Structure 1
Amino acid sequence: MSQSHHQYFAHGRAFAIGIALNLAFVGVEVFYGLIANSSALLADAGHNASDVLGLFFAWGAFRLANMTPRGKYTYGWQRSTILSSILNAVLLFIAVFFIAKDAIMKLQEPQPVAGTSVMIVAGIGVVINTITALLFMKDQKHDLNIKGAFLHMAADAGVSLGVVVAGLLINITGHQWIDPAVSFVIIAVVLWGTWGLFVDSVNLALDAVPKNINIEEVRDALNNYPGVQDAHDLHVWALSTNRTAISVHLVVPGGGGDRFLADVQKMLKDEFNISHATVQIEKEKNNQIECNHR
């Protein structure tokens, strides 16, 4: 089995395990949140529920991105990972609205909260979310879709830890306002992470240069490449959350053959992790003589 196929099945297994664990935990949180009358616990359940949907979307997008291009989808379905990231962000914004609404009601009319139950259930959440985050830790540096899943689960582990602290403080002080107050801390954490994911995803959808690539460094590398007199009409954009494309015109007075194009493509891959290059060679600027697609 090739490395790519191995990663495909490993990611699929990680998504399946993560979804199963978190779906079960959401049910537990809702049940005990209602019994304990805890808005913090219900808030965490709402956040985790949106993350379960997020994992579903990320898994589906991951599978679509690996489908063979056909018909009018000449690039395949790779951009589904970008759309999935945007949808995940929107779902989290909706979850934040309902979390805030419930917390405000509890602040206006404080109600008794079973602190011990909150601590126990949220403690289970710390373990489950940590395990799920670890499933995606290895590959999150190379794929925004995977990174989104990793960051959500890591943040959830921290949020659940905050709920444990809330239960402990309620038991110690007896102050019921601590529970909705922690809900607002959860909201701040979710908004902070979600806004970054939303902005990055929208930028990719609008064909902005991916944030991990410095367009001026790419331009300089091409302009300084042996045999290249000038690089112009340079465009860099994302095919998916882990694949980047480039198109550029290179003025090469001596011309450039297959070997030259292969070397340029290798340089772009090695130095900038740009995997799909379309390069047009010109002997003189605005005097096109050869067009090669790679």
Structure 2
Amino acid sequence: MGGNHHQNDTKGTKLVVSILLNVIITASQVIGGVISGSLALLSDALHNFSDVLSLLISYVAERLSKRSASTSKTFGYKRAEIIAAFINSSTLLIVAVILIIESIERFISPQEIESNLVIWLSAIAIVANGLSVLLLRKEAESNMNMRSAYLHLLTDMSASVAVLIGGLLMKYYQLWWVDSLLTLAIALYLIYMGYDLFKQSLKVLMLFTPEGIHIDNIIETINQYPNVKAMHHVHVWQANEHETHLEAHLDLQDDIKISEFDALLLQIEAYLHKEFGINHVNIQPEFNKNDAKDVIVQD
């Protein structure tokens, strides 16, 4: 328990450090972008600002997720980090659309840019974002919220590398259109990185059946258990990344004792956990009950 508390504190500290680094980067890039006239630098600043927001959201969600459940919040704040992942991935996609529009307008009317400022500020952003990426890398492997923050930082570091290359091309070859091209490339990369996380978090929020869980297979197996007539009225969903729930009605062939049903339930729980990682099972036993026997019932 103490180790888990320490891990959560470490996550929070790493997020705070990353927030401070990105506030500094954003402010310097906005000023630099205005002075130099670089849209790519301003787009990188806009993305960095979205990083600051995403990191703040991730930090708040990470704090909330540790709060205990209560009678008014029986699930606690388990979904806080999923909501954070959804908001963060959504902002990635919105920022991408804005950048695409801006890059097309600038491509039509290219402008001369102060490339030295672009080069230095993008180099600073690479270092700062690189440090943030290293800080969050481990946590991103097992947590959707931290992964959303990590993706923001990783895409921004990649964008800063592109801006640096663009600055060098503009400095030595006066290729001003590269600024617009890089902005477009950054935007497309944001869409590529953000869409999958957006889809995953949306599925959890919409209570969709998790990937890899086939309800038909579950029913076919459980219907073969002794005394089971038919499993029906099935719901499977995720509360968060680590908690998968199944609830269902179980029509029984005989009017068995509660102790006999408990023994059957233990078998079902063991099977569901081993095969599908379902760790919360709620099954309602029935005998000759007159209700809908469809597998999926719209409540």
Range class of TM-score, shorter chain: 0.7 to 0.9
Q: 2:22, 2:48 within 8 Å by CA — same for their partners in 1?
A: yes
Q: Name the amino acid aligned to 2:276.
A: F
Aligned residue runs from structure 1 range 233-252, under 5 A: 233-250=233-250
The Cα offsets for residues 232-268 of structure 1, whole Å up to 9 and x where unpaired, read as 3332112124432222345677774656645644554
Task: Supply the distance in 1 between the matched residues of 2:85 and 2:30 (Cα, whole angstroms).
Answer: 26
List runs of 5+ in structure 2 lacking aligned partners: 292-299
Q: Name the amino acid aligned to 2:277.
A: N
Structure 2 partner of 1:152: 152
Q: Name the amino acid aligned to 2:279.
A: S
Q: Which moved more, 1:91-100 or 1:32-41?
A: 91-100
Aligned residues: 286
Give the number of the structure whose alpha-carbon radius of gyration is greater.
2
Q: Name the amino acid aligned to 1:70.
A: S
TM-score by length of 1: 0.83
Aligned residue runs from structure 1 range 159-198, under 5 A: 159-198=159-198
TM-score by length of 2: 0.82
Task: Supply the distance in 2 between the matched residues of 1:228 and 1:163 (Cα, whole angstroms).
Answer: 67
Aligned residue runs from structure 1 range 32-111, under 5 A: 32-111=32-111
The Cα offsets for residues 96-140 of structure 1, whole Å up to 9 and x where unpaired, read as 343234323322322221223222221222222222222232232
Secondary structure at the residue paired with 1:245?
Answer: strand
Structure 2 partner of 1:276: 280
Structure 1 residue 220: deviation in Å? Answer: 6.6
Q: 2:92, 2:152 within 8 Å by CA — same for their partners in 1?
A: no
Q: Name the amino acid aligned to 1:132.
A: S
With over 3 angstroms needed to count, the CA separation of the structure-2 counterparts of 1:227 and 1:2, relative to structure 1, is farther
Task: Supply the distance in 1 between the matched residues of 2:9 and 2:263 (Cα, whole angstroms).
Answer: 35
Work out whether 1:130 is the aligned partner of 2:130: yes
Q: Name the amino acid aligned to 2:282.
A: T
Q: Name the amino acid aligned to 1:105.
A: E
List runs of 5+ in structure 1 lacking aligned partners: 289-294
Structure 1 partner of 2:20: 20
Secondary structure at the residue paired with 1:138?
Answer: helix
Q: Which moved more, 1:114-123 or 1:181-190?
A: 114-123
Q: Which moved more, 1:220-229 or 1:193-202?
A: 220-229
Task: Supply the distance in 2 between the matched residues of 1:105 and 1:195 (Cα, whole angstroms).
Answer: 25
Task: Supply the distance in 1 between the matched residues of 2:133 and 2:223 (Cα, whole angstroms).
Answer: 42
